[in-house]
Amino acid sequence: MSPPQQPSSTNPNSLKIRLTHRFLHNLNNLNKKRSNLDNTQIHRRSHRVKLAAYASMARVVGSRRAWSRAILWKIRNRKVFTRNKRVDHKTTHHHHLARSIKRRTTNHSNHKREYVDPNGNSGQEVKLRKLVPGVETMDACGLLDETADYIKCLATQVEVMRNLVDLYSTI
């Protein structure tokens, strides 16, 4: 499976390089802490590697993006963050994506009705809001913009990790 073409808007080489350095830095810190753990903590370590990956993604992007801010906030409040946090879908300035979707699909027959929640969001949009951190109360334009940036960074992070795995496995 070949990785997607890197768009030229953000300099992809510098993003990859910055991600690599930051991820290695986080891994290093991980290893220093880990010297007290024994081998039964394998699960915790792989969980920490995942956290390090997300943390390095968010740290490199900084507070420029809603998703990175959300991740950084979650990491800082990891102990306090409860699962009971309810998300209110505010309808103040939502230009509902569902309307544009219906406009674009008028020529195609939908055999099953698209799920639309009480706020007018389609099922896909709701799923997307759950997948991308920090976009629960964003309008449709912002949501799409954040999703594009999130995908770019995720893909680059995966590439960095793949390169590291290849590198480490040859040593």
Partner 1 sequence: MSSRRTRTTRTREHDIDDLVSKLQALLPSSSSSCKRTTVPSSKILEETCNYIKSLRRKGDNLGERLSQLLDSMENNGVDVSIIKDLLQP
Distance CA 46, CA 166 (A): 17
In 3D space, the residue among 54, 52, 61, 55 whose CA is nearest the CA of residue 27 turns out to be 52
146 to 165: interface string for partner 1, x by CB under 8 A: -xx-xxx-xx-xx--xx-xx
Among 15, 19, 20, 135, binds partner 1 (CB under 8 A): 20
In 3D space, the residue among 84, 74, 67 whose CA is nearest the CA of residue 51 turns out to be 74
Please report how many Cα atoms fall inside a 13 Å half-sphere around the Cα of residue 132, on the Cβ side: 27
Tokens for 145, please give them: 């913009």
Among 14, 81, 91, 141, binds partner 1 (CB under 8 A): 141
Interface size with partner 1, residues (CB under 8 A): 60
Do residues 53 and 30 touch, judged by C-beta distance below 8 A?
Answer: no
**Residue placing its CB nearer to partner 1 in the complex, 82 or 169:** 169
Distance CA 33, CA 171 (A): 23
Among 15, 19, 22, 53, binds partner 1 (CB under 8 A): 53
**CA dihedral angle for residue 94, residue 124, residue 86, residue 82, rounded to 10 degrees:** -130
Among 24, 70, 75, 116, binds partner 1 (CB under 8 A): 24
CA-to-CA separations, 97 to 101, 103, 142, in angstroms, rounded = 6, 10, 11
Among 14, 33, 50, 62, binds partner 1 (CB under 8 A): 50
Distance CA 105, CA 100 (A): 9
**Residue placing its CB nearer to partner 1 in the complex, 40 or 84:** 40
89 to 118: interface string for partner 1, x by CB under 8 A: ------x-x-xxx-xxx--x-----x----
Residues that bind partner 1 (CB under 8 A): 1-5, 7, 20-21, 24-25, 27-28, 31, 34, 39, 42, 45-46, 48-50, 53, 95, 97, 99-101, 103-105, 108, 114, 122, 124-125, 127-128, 131-132, 140-141, 144-145, 147-148, 150-152, 154-155, 157-158, 161-162, 164-165, 167-169, 171
